[in-house]
Amino acid sequence: MLISIALLMVSITAVSAAEVYMDPSSSSINCGQETEVKIKVNANDFQGGQVVFTYDPKCVALTDFITNKKDFPTSDVNNKNGMVRIGFLAPAEVNGEFVIATFSIKCISECTCTTDLKIVQEESKLIGIDSKKIPSVCWTGGTFSLIADDQDSDDSTKVYMDPSSSSINCGQETEVKIKVNANDFQGGQVVFTYDPKCVALTGFITNEKDFPTSGVNNKNGMVRIGFLAPAEVNGEFVIATFSIKCISECACSTDLVFDLTESKIMAKTGTKIETVWQNGYFECIEDSDGICLSEGWNFVSIPYVLENQSFEDITEGLPLECIMEYNSKECIWTNPGCEWVPLKGYWIYANKTCCIPDDRLAQKGATAPGNLELYEGWNAIGHSDSTDSLYAKTVLGGIDNSEYRYIMGPWDPVKKTYTQCGYKNQTGMLGVDENDKKHRGTDIFEMSPHEGYWLYMNMTGKYGPVGS
């Protein structure tokens, strides 16, 4: 019997490693209103630190800062020109979750607007009692949208790109949909710009089924899409689909930015509906034998022993927020050790798309990786071949057939889902219908280099290279 994806999913949010984050991390605020935000730290063996973050002072005001002087008697705040600095120090080392500071965020613009509370990692730090900087801290900022008074955060009209961001190899292309989610609207106009020196937007298809009167104009880096339904409609609709292709000699990036002066969603009466417009971001990257990371969480691995196994050296200069590993023996999330272990799966959070260069992933001669210890329950593993994709039945052949039950992966960081679920002792496609390509036997479950996978074990075991 197929098991639910919800049951298969292993959460990457409940971590036990050092983290600093906003609570809430996102919210919609009516113009002229405000909401309370807490900055929290969850860590062990730390004494203090500094949190530095930026915001848009034209959009919001941050006021009424209150630091936690009960736990951190030495505390201070500096808030100036869209940058906040908070210092805090306890009398001795502490462990657990603490509120560092509380403040109010208030809309001051004429709406709508959005601001990121972006943590400046180069200046932010947690320190131990020896004043040494604690490594591998997860820094998570926030995003706050300011909406008109008559909008509700759950019911607000939204127009957005799906996906909203992606990395595309030079010469390749990806499909993008423009979607609207609204009530009591009949049509409108979507206008956005892009960099025509970086990408080409082609193959526009409008949704003439729901909006029979539709048209597209794409010229000199500006796209105009008009659409009109026979009557008012409600819900989520695709307005248009198009392809975005990298045409530059790479690398380059482009924002797909909605023109708020010309874009509009209209009611049947012709009244303009207040709308939240969410822009897109696409990056063209050179073909690489390294590991390319999308914005957000990525599940990756290395199949061999590295010449330089230092995480610090491998990720130097890259826009990464944190790296996590799952301790399957203790069933907890932790910061990884200092060295990248082959065959193990790691979660890496990238603030924007980037690649780990191939020259940082050089193999240490013919040194074969040792066996990876596996424990009952879910284990984060990688593919054991550096060049070829192989079926899981072959890759996992060294594990006794009675020891494991399921395998899941790889993770799609754009769609935020696992693409395959494999079942031991099953063959072929196992979906409930011909459209379900996710569920399959391990004989056709494909494992690829540098991807991470979840393997469910019935008991302890060992995982090594194919043929070991």
* Cβ contact 460:450 at 8 Å: no
Task: Tell me the C-alpha distance between 90 and 17, whole Å.
Answer: 20
200 contact partners, CB below 8 Å, separation of at least 6: 244, 245, 247
What is the model's pLDDT at position 2? 38
Residue 177 near residue 206, CB atoms below 8 Å: no
Which segments within 311-459 are labelled E, that is strand?
320-327, 332-334, 346-350, 354-356, 372-374, 377-382, 390-391, 404-408, 411-412, 417-418, 421-423, 439-441, 446-447, 452-457
**Which pLDDT belongs to residue 250?**
59
pLDDT at 1: 35
Q: In this predicted structure, what is the pLDDT of residue 9? A: 37
Structure tokens given for 18: 């050092």
Q: Give the chain's residues under pLDDT 50.
A: 1-16, 149-154
Residue 15's nearest CA partner among 325, 297, 301 is: 325
Instruction: Please tell me the predicted confidence (pLDDT) of residue 6.
Output: 32
Residue 392 phi, psi dihedral angles, 5° rounding: -60, -35
CA separation for the pair 406, 404 (Å, rounded) = 6
Amino acid 39: pLDDT: 94
Q: What pLDDT is attached to residue 215?
A: 96
Structural domains in the chain, CATH included, are 19-147 (2.60.40.680), 157-285 (2.60.40.680), 291-463 (no CATH)
**Taking a C-beta distance cutoff of 8 angstroms, is the pair 169, 246 a contact?**
yes
pLDDT at residue 121, as a whole number: 82
Strand partners, 201: 244
Q: What is the pLDDT of residue 433?
A: 65
- The span from the CA of 427 to the CA of 160, in Å, is 40
Say what the pLDDT of residue 8 is. 36
Q: Residue 100 in contact with residue 47, Cβ under 8 Å?
A: no
**Sign of CA pseudo-dihedral 450, 452, 457, 461:** positive
Q: How many residues does the chain have?
A: 468
